[in-house]
Amino acid sequence: MGAASCSSSVQHLFLPCLLLVFCFASAVSQQQQSDSCSSAGVAVAHLVPFNSSAFRCLTVWKQEDFVLRYKNTGESQWSFILSAPDKGSYVAVGFSGKGLMVGSSAVVGWSSGGKGTVKQYYLTGKSPDECYPDKGRLTLVKNKAVAVSRSGRLYLAFQLYTDLPQPHLIYAVGPEGNLPPADATLPMHRSMHSHAFNYTSGMASNSGGSGSGGFPPERRHGLLAMMGWGVLMPLGMMAARYFRRVDPYWFYAHMAIQVTAFAVGIASAVLGFRLNDNGLKNVDVHRALGIAILAMTSLQVMAFLARPDKTSKVRRFWNWYHHYIGRAAILVAIGNIFLGLHIAQEVSAYIVSYGVFVAVWVIAVAAFEMNRCYSDDD
């Protein structure tokens, strides 16, 4: 009787909760309508200052739900309508010859208090003070640009005078709830994406430039640094400190992991020195920390070559040096990797993935240290 009564009570509590969740989800979905290429036309077609029928349509940035419609609407005239969720931020689409943000011109739109604003910007760098409003190489058709917010989405519509728009499109979205001020200075974008675009076929492919969805040099540099300095080096430390009971295999494992980490780290450093910072903030700090990591790991390699014999009187001091310089290099590397991810405005998947690794590594080190303490007490 008791178990049956308990089960009945759970069911009576569960069903109302499930109903409330369903009602809440329905309300949210009604408030935040989505836009898709399967819908019949543009939801704000009556507010767009040009005929928007029979436009090509494609989802150009799934992560941010960016939908682009475009059409060659006249001789040397192209029309565009970009749709994205309205989160109290600006949306932008830039046109580039090589897929690079720097040197491109962008059309940026936002809506505040029911009033939309559309401006062209010339991007000479990646910092806000290097993005100049009302300048650029695009020839916008006068009185044919509008930004409209409807049903939780922002629509940016404009026309260009050009025989054929440049072949690389760059998309950006501003920080949520942070619109440009009265002087139209753009806050640093929250995220960006780019691709090469074929206007005839409507096909998009990964751009080779910075900010693409593929593997530009900045991302290759970051992934190599993360793997070499940020993953392999901490694992190599664990092999030497916590597995000495399996002598001499711990030594071979430690050597193999750390040599691989050093080689991968050198590759990341070479790539990093070849990158253009383009005025990004904190790049000098990131570079200085990277040089410090490179110096400390190089000293570790030199120290191994000059390692004294176990019976030597200076072996104790060598051990102190080797242990503490190695630990310092690991801690600086972890911090610098997170700084680099922040500077590059990387997608959250990379930040979360590396954060999970660091958390697991810290927990594992704490567990091994506790085990060492208890073993010493025994």
Extract the annotated binding site.
221, 254, 286, 322
CB burial string 34-66: b at 16+ within 10 A, e below: ebeeeeeebbbbeebebebeebebeebbeebbb
Token pair recorded at residue 149: 């917010």
Which candidate, 232, 178, 213, 225, places its Cα nearest to that of 341? 225
Token pair recorded at residue 322: 């080797």
In this structure, are residues 194 and 129 in contact, taking their beta carbons and an 8 Å threshold? no
CA distance 81 to 67: 8
Task: Calculate the alpha carbon distances from 123 to 185, 208, 308, 334, 344 in Å.
Answer: 12, 18, 56, 32, 17
Q: Which residues are annotated as a binding site for heme b?
A: 221, 254, 286, 322
Rounded to the nearest 10 degrees, what angle do helices 249-273 and 233-242 cross at? Answer: 160
103: alpha, beta or left? (left if phi > 0; alpha if psi -120 to 50):
left
